[in-house]
Amino acid sequence: MLYKATRQTHSCTVPPGLRLRGRANIQFRALTSASARVYNACMRNRCALFFLAFLIAYPASGYAADSDAFALAAQGAPPMLDIVLIIETGGRMYRLLPDAADFAAGFARIMQTALPPPDVRFGGIRFSSDDRAEMSDLSDSPAAFAQELRQTRAAPGSVNISLETIFKKLVHSYSWRPGSRRFAILYMGSRIRAVPRALDQLRAPGITLITIPADGASTAAHEILQTMADRTGGVPLIPDYLVRYSDANRQRRAFYLYKRSLYPLAHDVPEQNWQDVYESIEAAGIRSYRSGSIDESCEILGRLGVRGIRIMEIQSTLARACAEAIALRCKDAAMRFPAPDMLMRFTHARRAFLIPAAGAYISRVAAPENTAWLGFMPIRDSRHEDGFFPHPASFVLLPAAQRPPASLLVPWRDIASRMPRIFSTGRVFVEARSVALTPIAKKRFTGDPPL
């Protein structure tokens, strides 16, 4: 029964025998401050009459709906994370910049859909040499940094990079929050002379390094980046790439570079969210070839008879890999990332919606066909046409009889504009009709040549 839209807050303890999901000690932001005072009075005086009056004012039928509606808010203090993305824009990164921009935006989206929802801020550094670096300080969203990456024209950059200046900026030029867990994700492809001396400066502020060698990085660069991650208690990652290309016949196809192996595909993979749409590459049973880079993979395809390869787009799996690496280093927070496995269809204000949802996390107070009110936690996303997207693990289905309070009923078109005034760890509700849930049927990759 946490109505956070009111100005006054009254703290009280749940009485014995009243079973509510969530924390035992709850702050009731009541529709009227008078009802909260009545409750507090009954707790002080232990007066059954007052408690009976409280139950009459808040019917028992409302507890289930309210505890479901605020399940996300009742998970304790969220983990506080400060994360800086450090991405090279020169050298071998020239054709990976669009993917790096998608990685920045996708990584933020995955982190914001974690459970419990973290209090996370993002920063960025773009660099093409030791003395050419542009910073973006920590903020609620990396959208501006991702847009800058999209607009960046690949520069030649330095052949060798020391990272000394980059790490000094990281330590001294960012507004790290007291008590936050601090991470830096370094994605680069140029040669590194040696482990930077400034790496030791990351220990004092407690910055954990996640390192990613870009496609084509040398063996020495791989080894130095791994050493840097190990010395800061971080994680070294090797990215996987889905490469879309056209051949001499202008036929569009794709190949998957996964764990240093090439998997040629007999078809294109047009879906941008292909990681959610397709089964794992291992489940496909595709013939693979040992390959360490995209260029080497193109050479192997040429020997298999594919002519005139023209790379159209490259996508990596870095967003989820980095999110899981951070969760691994925040074990006490028990962060998890529910993957959508269902599609939710409904109509609202004469508009049809189709939204991905994590089926195991849907609170079904009502059956889909009997649902009149749909609750969810909105997450700001400037790239989305509505300016936000629903948290895939936050849906609750309520029947017509359990109408949410007016303060939480927000038309879909007004959610983005009202988000600064909507609490960030609970749900809003919209009127929904014709609700239906459909499992997502995943596709299977097909190899070329077939086994």
Segments making up each domain of the chain, as ranges: 1-58, 80-239+317-334, 241-315, 340-440
67 strand-pairing partners:
none
* Token representation of residue 239: 């990215």
Q: Tokens standing for 438?
A: 């459909």
- State the pLDDT at residue 203: 93
Residue 429 · residue 403 · CB < 8 Å: no
Query: Rounded to whole angstroms, how far apart are CA atoms 137 and 445?
Result: 41
Q: What pLDDT is attached to residue 77?
A: 66
Question: What pLDDT sits at residue 55?
Answer: 33
Q: What is the pLDDT of residue 408?
A: 87
The angle formed by the CA atoms of residues 180, 181 and 186, to the nearest 5 degrees, is 130
Instruction: Give me the tens of pLDDT residue by residue for the chain, a chain 451 residues long.
Output: 232 333 333 333 333 333 333 333 333 333 333 444 434 444 444 443 333 333 333 333 333 344 444 444 445 567 899 999 999 988 778 889 889 999 998 898 899 888 888 889 999 999 888 778 889 999 988 888 888 888 887 665 556 788 999 999 999 999 999 999 999 999 998 888 899 999 999 999 999 999 999 998 888 999 999 999 999 999 999 999 999 999 999 999 999 999 999 999 999 999 988 988 899 999 999 999 999 999 999 999 999 999 999 999 999 999 999 999 999 998 877 888 998 999 999 999 999 999 999 999 998 888 898 999 999 999 888 778 888 899 999 999 999 999 998 888 989 999 988 876 554 447 899 999 999 999 988 999 999 865 5
Residue 344's closest CA among 327, 329, 363? 363
Please name the residue that has the structure tokens 């529709």: 31
Within a 13 Å sphere around the CA of 49, how many CA atoms are in the beta-carbon half?
A: 0
C-alpha 77/C-alpha 317 separation (Å) is: 29
Strand partners for 52 = none
Amino acid in position 247: D
Question: Are the C-beta atoms of residues 169 and 133 closer than 8 Å to each other?
Answer: yes
Q: Could you give the 3-state DSSP secondary structure of residue 48?
A: helix
State the Cα–Cα distance between residues 263 and 270, nearest whole angstrom.
17
Q: Would residue 336 be called left, alpha or beta, if left means φ above 0 and alpha means ψ between -120 and 50 degrees?
A: beta
- Residue 72 carries which DSSP code? G
AA identity, residue 436:
A
* Predicted pLDDT of residue 66: 44
Beta-carbon contacts of 207 under 8 Å, excluding residues fewer than 6 positions away, are 170, 171, 182, 183, 184, 232
Distance in angstroms (rounded) separating the CA atoms of residues 450 and 157: 42
The sheet carrying 373-376 orders its strands as 363-364, 396-398, 373-376, 428-431
Provide the residue type at 314 as one letter. Answer: I
What Cα–Cα distance (Å) separates residue 233 from each residue in 206, 207, 228? 10, 9, 9
CATH class for the region spanning 80-239+317-334: alpha beta
